[in-house]
Amino acid sequence: MERTTELELIDELLELKAAKSPFLDEQVVLSPVENYVSDEQFKREQMAIFRQLPHSPAHSSELDGAGAFLRCEVANLPVLLTRDKQGVVRAFLNVCRHRGARLVEEDAGCKHRFTCPYHAWTYASSGELVGAPHFESGFEGVDKSKIGLKELPAKEAYGLIWVVPDPGGTFDFDDYFAPMADEIESLGMANMVIAADDRIESAANWKIIVEGGIEAYHFRVAHRATIGPYFEDNLSSYRAYGPHMRSVLPRTTMASLSDEDREQWHVRDHANVLYTLFPTTQLLVQQDHVVWITSQPSGPGQTGLRLVTLVPKSGPLAEGKDDAYWRHNHNITMMTLEEDFEIGEGIQAGLASGANDVLTFGRFEGALNQFNRTIDAYIGKSEAA
């Protein structure tokens, strides 16, 4: 984050605090309940968003060295991530091109060749079909070079592996992330390691989960037993950068900052900064580490989540901090998010009951409206094509 931006963010929040006013949008917005419970809406999101835009299924350290591989799911598709002999990260559908068997069963490992357990068709880590028993006699006229693994657009950037689950497609990752690239790069996630890693299944729509993290209105109530007392009541700010968003949620310590010490102001010392990288990646920036959250929506009322605490390998932020310290911080984050997830599941059940036709976003919940406008824009663009 540029220094001028950092100071402007703190100034803005201090001014709002002094004025006893939240960050207000122009108007109240109504969001249709149908968007959270409808199978049809989820299918539209699947086709226009989840299958067309980048997800972050892995941290760079999980593909550590040439030959490393990782099996995962992206937008409900079986995916194989590899690092080929040149060190380039590749993504493929984890499906043999012969008769559709799952190619790789192991969760992760290191090898440059993958052999199908059904008929021993063998593929290189770069996707080419390099061997198949009796191929010349049994598959006359079939061009091996045309039946390599089905590749997906992939890129290693900002310490994460990004995949677009669009077989055979192309994607300009640099252009997509450009509005936030410098800020995300400055987090230094490429030089971090995984200190803790949890997976959760939530019976809630993916939008409910995202929305719960981008407003501070609920903090003093929903998180009264955990982090609520340490944060300002209903005070936050947000900015949209293309489809992405930065939210800043100040802690109570920010109010004690003095102009005389302005050069010592740092937003991470006095606020949580949350980057929402559309559609399914969030980065919760804490004082000395980053919590990477990636979601896997599987239905209108079901979302898988991975919550990972990324910590610096070395340097001032890592000094004097052992595994127990990082695990303790991760557990605090998990306790807080589990409070959100429990409420989110209750919301999902409530919306399915038919009690409400709309959700009402207040003027200080403008980030929720911004997020939903982005969803609507991608669906509209897809359906107009």
Residue ranges per domain, the chain?
3-52+190-384, 66-151
Q: Return d(Cα 209, Cα 225) in angstroms, integer.
A: 20
pLDDT tens-digit series, residues 28-54: 999 999 999 999 999 999 999 999 999
**Whole-number percent of the chain with pLDDT over 90:** 95
Q: Which helix (H) or strand (E) holds 199?
A: strand 192-202
How confident is the model at residue 190, as a pLDDT? Answer: 97
When the candidates are 3.30.450.30, 3.30.70.100, 2.102.10.10, 3.40.630.10, the CATH number that belongs to 66-151 is 2.102.10.10
pLDDT tens-digit series, residues 73-112: 999 999 999 999 999 999 999 999 999 999 999 999 999 9
pLDDT tens-digit series, residues 296-320: 999 999 999 999 999 999 888 899 9
Q: Coil, helix or strand for 245?
A: strand
Q: Return d(Cα 378, Cα 382) in angstroms, integer.
A: 6
How confident is the model at residue 260, as a pLDDT? Answer: 79
Q: In 10 A of CB 41, how many CB atoms?
A: 18
CA distances from 384 to 47, 114, 170 (A): 13, 41, 20
How confident is the model at residue 385, as a pLDDT? Answer: 79
How confident is the model at residue 240, as a pLDDT? Answer: 98
pLDDT tens-digit series, residues 339-349: 999 999 999 99
pLDDT tens-digit series, residues 191-250: 999 999 999 999 999 999 999 999 999 999 999 999 999 999 999 999 999 999 999 999
State the sign of the Cα–Cα–Cα–Cα dihedral 265, 293, 56, 117: positive
Say whether pLDDT at 361 is over 90.
yes
Alpha helix segments (H runs only) across 105-257: 135-138, 173-177, 181-185, 206-211, 219-222
Do residues 364 and 22 touch, judged by C-beta distance below 8 A? yes
Say whether pLDDT at 259 is over 90.
no
How confident is the model at residue 95, as a pLDDT? Answer: 99
How confident is the model at residue 77, as a pLDDT? Answer: 98
Nearest to 242 by CA among 362, 366, 378, 365: 378
How confident is the model at residue 381, as a pLDDT? Answer: 94
Q: What average pLDDT does the segment 341-358 reach?
A: 98
Q: Return d(Cα 281, Cα 243) in angstroms, integer.
A: 12
As a whole number, the mean pLDDT across the chain is 96
When the candidates are 3.30.1360.200, 3.40.109.10, 3.90.380.10, 3.40.640.10, the CATH number that belongs to 3-52+190-384 is 3.90.380.10
Say whether pLDDT at 261 is over 90.
no
How confident is the model at residue 258, as a pLDDT? Answer: 82
